[in-house]
Amino acid sequence: MELLTEKEKEMIRDSWESLGRNKVPHGMVMFSRLFELEPALLGLFQYNTSCGSTQDCLASPEFLDHVTKVMLVVDAAVSHLDDLLSLEDFLLNLGRKHQAVGVDTQSFAVVGESLLYMLQCALGETYTAPLRQAWLNMYSVVVSAMSRGWAQNGEHKAD
Ligand code: HEM
């Protein structure tokens, strides 16, 4: 896995300090953005069938549960910036699970875009180009491992 510079790690940790204490509201901003960019993703959540509008779905307990899970993965990555490789097996497995539930790897990039949008909303003036790049680098490491797991699962099924 690629390494981040010490400066990038410091910027990520500083910016996550307050956000990490309020994961769900920030995660909701991120996922609201995701469904604006790619509305079809909402259909991948089975419990989608029981909710009417997008807003109803976003407020359902199952959905909030997934938002929390995503934010915990981000939190784990921030906590393991010095050793992202230790998350490799977990992320490979996570990628496999997302292949199984029908998420396309291209959608991981849209999640990244939504993550940056959420950071921009939350951080305001402190969201700078170098900070954006640092987060992008960290997210790329996470998505790279998830995508490899996703591909392995696809190959396994094709056998
Ligand atoms: C591309 C958009 C995504 C969609 C549509 C999606 C959808 C799903 C679905 C349907 C499940 C299974 C049901 C559930 O546990 O709620 C799931 C599980 C999960 N997702 Fe996602 N997901 C997406 C992106 C992500 C990302 C980017 C992360 C983390 C960085 C993530 C983290 C998780 C975790 C931790 C689980 C639980 C896995 C387990 O049961 O062990 N998801 N996701």
Q: Which atom of ligand 1 is nearest to the CA of 108?
A: 1
Which atom of ligand 1 is nearest to 65's Cα? 16
Ligand 1 pocket test, candidate residues 66, 99, 113, most atoms within 8 A of CB: 66
pLDDT of res. 64:
87
Closest ligand 1 atom to Cα of 34: 2
Using CA positions, which residue lies closest to atom 40 of ligand 1?
A: 97
Instruction: Calculate how far, in angstroms, residue 66's C-alpha sits from the geometric centre of ligand 1.
Output: 6
Determine the distance separating the centroid of ligand 1 and the alpha carbon of 125, expressed in angstroms: 31
Which residue numbers in the chain have pLDDT < 70?
1-2, 46-52, 154, 156-159
Q: What residue spans define the domains of the chain?
A: 6-158
Ligand 1 pocket at CB < 6 A: 41, 44-45, 65-66, 69-70, 73, 94, 97-98, 101, 103, 107-108, 111, 142
pLDDT at residue 58, rounded to an integer: 76
- Predicted confidence at residue 88, as pLDDT, reads 97
pLDDT at 50: 63
Report CA(151)–ligand 1 centroid distance (Å).
16
Instruction: Return the CATH architecture of domain 6-158.
Output: Orthogonal Bundle (1.10)
What local confidence, expressed as pLDDT, does residue 55 receive? 76
Instruction: Annotate the chain with three-state secondary structure.
Output: CCCCCHHHHHHHHHHHHHHHHHHHHHHHHHHHHHHHHCHHHHHHCHHHHHCCCHHHHHHCHHHHHHHHHHHHHHHHHHHCHHHHHHHHHHHHHHHHHHHHCCCCHHHHHHHHHHHHHHHHHHHHHHCCHHHHHHHHHHHHHHHHHHHHHHHHHHHHHHC
